[in-house]
Amino acid sequence: MRTAVVLGTNFLVGAAVLAWVLVRHGAPALELLASGPRLGLLVLFPLAVAASFTAYAWRWKVLLAGLGARPRLAALVGYRAAGQSLSSLIPSGKLGGEPLRTLLLARGGVSGAQAIAAVAVDRTLEMGGAAAFACAYALVLLRRGVPALEGALVTVSLGAAALTLGVVLTVRRLRRGAGLVTALARSSGLTRLAFVRQQMDVLGAAEEEAARLIAQPQRMARAFALGLAANLLVLGEYALLLAAFGLPSGPVAVVAAVFATGAAHSLPIPAAVGALEGAELWLFGMLGHPPAVGLAVGLVVRLREVAWIVPGILYLMMRAPGLTRGALTTPPDPCTRAPEPPPPRAVPMRGGGG
């Protein structure tokens, strides 16, 4: 309940900020957008989005193949789109869509342990690639005279170092069979809870599957390279959209737009409402552009956000009846089925009076 109140309050504050920004700079920003749309580039934008989704799904498929699971690439694209939509709408450090991806993968025929391991490793690779790109973005912007990002560079670098250390320690534990989640559950006493005890076997199997992936360095390197390619495709999306509306679309402008978007989504505001537009306005102002340009960039990036959210929502709307039906019609476990009631006993007939 407290989380819902905080998120709701943040959403209202973000909406108020957005309304204030639109009142002050909305008219000139909309004039900029209306003056230069290029249909040729706008037609290419959906293709770039599809290519990005495919690259992320392909990385996921490479990991699943290492576990012996081979779902169709088209299905993984749908799962990825659904998880992306949930992650974008729920400000949870981009982890909101991972349980959904695991569920969809398990419903698609992959075992629960393999689904958990593949999603966890895929997410770790994604965080590693994003951290590397974030450090590069901050360095580029610092060299272009945005001193306010010095603190951001330190924060991003420390986060990347902490992520690297965590991954190294996890890999070492998995290689020697020590586990991680199961060991934490046992040491913290969580195994005293019945629900946790019931899931220990699945978590242990997932750790074994993750260790199988880690033991395939060439596959892991290939998956990481696919993630880097996907990040480059995302840069192409931004460049296409900014150029399509006649906005600054050079390398520095694209990096600034991507960096501001990531910073806005790190705040606990649903869909980064207000934060996204404000971050773009502030950063482009630091680069010497007028407020109307910064807000116009924010509105264009919001258009990209919609393009990334809508496909997953449509996919979930189409899959929702099947997911619900599957949950309701799961056959009961014969070991836990209630015993059948005994047959009724015959009632003796009383004799008649004479």
Could you tell me which of 106, 4, 127 has the C-alpha nearest to residue 59? 127
1-10, 159-168, 302-311, 331-340: which range is least confident on average?
331-340
One-letter amino acid for residue 102 of the chain? T
One-letter amino acid for residue 201 of the chain? D
Residue 301: what pLDDT?
Answer: 94
**CA 167/CA 227 separation, integer angstroms:** 17
User: Is residue 352 very low, low, confident or very high in pLDDT (cuts 50, 70, 90)?
Assistant: very low
**CA 237/CA 214 separation, integer angstroms:** 32
0.85 surpassed by pTM: no
pLDDT tens string 267-277: 888 888 888 99
Residue range 235-239: average pLDDT? Answer: 94
Q: How far apart are the first and last CA of the chain?
A: 75
Q: Where in 31-98 does DSSP place strands (E)?
A: none
pLDDT tens string 31-71: 988 887 788 888 999 999 999 999 999 999 999 999 999 99
Q: Which residue has the tokens 């956000």?
A: 305
Whether 300 shows a pLDDT value over 90: the answer reads yes
One-letter amino acid for residue 46 of the chain? P
**CA 246/CA 267 separation, integer angstroms:** 29
Q: Where in the chain does DSSP place strands (E)?
A: none
SS3 for 284-316 is: HHHCCCCHHHHHHHHHHHHHHHHHHHHHHHHHH
DSSP 148: G
Specify the long-range contacts of residues 98-107, CB closer than 8 Å, at least 24 apart: 98/123, 103/323, 104/78, 104/79, 104/319, 105/71, 105/79, 107/323, 107/326
pLDDT tens string 127-145: 888 888 888 888 888 887 7
Residue 135 near residue 156 (C-beta atoms within 8 A):
yes
DSSP 271: G
Q: Which residue has the higher pLDDT, 330 or 188?
A: 188
